[in-house]
A = this chain, B = another copy of it.
Amino acid sequence: LTPHEVTVAALTGATVVVVDILRATTSMIWALDAGARRVWPVATVPAACALAKQLGPHCLLAGERGGLPLDGFDLGNSPSEFTPEQVTNRDIVMTTTNGTTALLHAQQARQVLIGAFANLSAVAEALRGSNEFHVLCAGTNGAATDEDSLFAGALMDRCLSADPDLSLSSQRTRQAWEQWRSIDQADLVGALRVSAGGRNLCQINQPADIQDAAIIDRCDCVPRYHHELGVALDHG
């Protein structure tokens, strides 16, 4: 449910779905779906500086600190900012607080898929036939968050075989998803709004991002992360 709960070693060679619903992975999916060439997740603002300098004026700087856009950056971290007009054929250097940490944590994995409600069915399809996979939730500042674990539960629900062998965390996310679904299937927005990440976004007056992040299967793509090649639809 957070990067701290799993070792880098445990993810080595594995298939990992990285999730930061509000908002990093949602935004990456929207960006690549809108025609961005590549998203480069970097941990720190200085590292973003260095990479943006190297890539040159054609790249875009995106990201947040404390949820808010950074002074002088081209884009913040709202999915709706990543429009075709903005991002087509552009490389995007992105620095976010939690999502980047989760991606870097998974950099020894055999394959890293970028997941969010935006591409739920496409990720489930990509995982079909996998014997084993991990869902790595970004969380918020080291704490588990409902918006990510709710997605993990939704993905379990789509992927599971008749007799799955689930970790305790996975069982918990699946129960949470089923419980939520039995109460009010339609109101994913409401569920995200009361999550830790959702409350943060309301506090900084960006509630529209919650509605965007709740759109299921808006995109048909499954971006993948490679530690030397960034996040792209195809590293071939």
For A, the interface residue count at a CB cutoff of 8 angstroms equals 21
Say yes or no: A71 contacts B52, CB within 8 Å. no
Say yes or no: B57 contacts A71, CB within 8 Å. no
Binary per-residue interface labels of chain A (30-72) against chain B in the complex, 1 for a CB within 8 Å, 0 otherwise? 0000000000000011111111111111010100000000111
CB-defined contacts of A52 to chain B, threshold 8 Å: 49-50, 52-53
A85 to B47 alpha-carbon distance, docked (Å): 23
How many copies the complex holds: the figure is 2
Which B-chain residue is minimally distant from A45 (CB atoms)? B45
Given known A49-B49, A49-B61, A50-B61, contact A71–B44 (CB-CB < 8 A): yes
Q: Is there a chain B Cβ closer than 8 Å to A73's Cβ?
A: yes
A147 to B231 alpha-carbon distance, docked (Å): 48
Say yes or no: A46 contacts B59, CB within 8 Å. no
Max chain B Cβ within 10 angstroms of own Cβ: one of A50, A53, A57: A53
Say yes or no: B50 contacts A53, CB within 8 Å. no
A24 to B59 alpha-carbon distance, docked (Å): 30
Say yes or no: B61 contacts A53, CB within 8 Å. yes
A61 to B45 alpha-carbon distance, docked (Å): 12
Output the least CB separation between A153 and chain B (Å): 36
CB-defined contacts of A53 to chain B, threshold 8 Å: 49, 52-53, 55-57, 59, 61
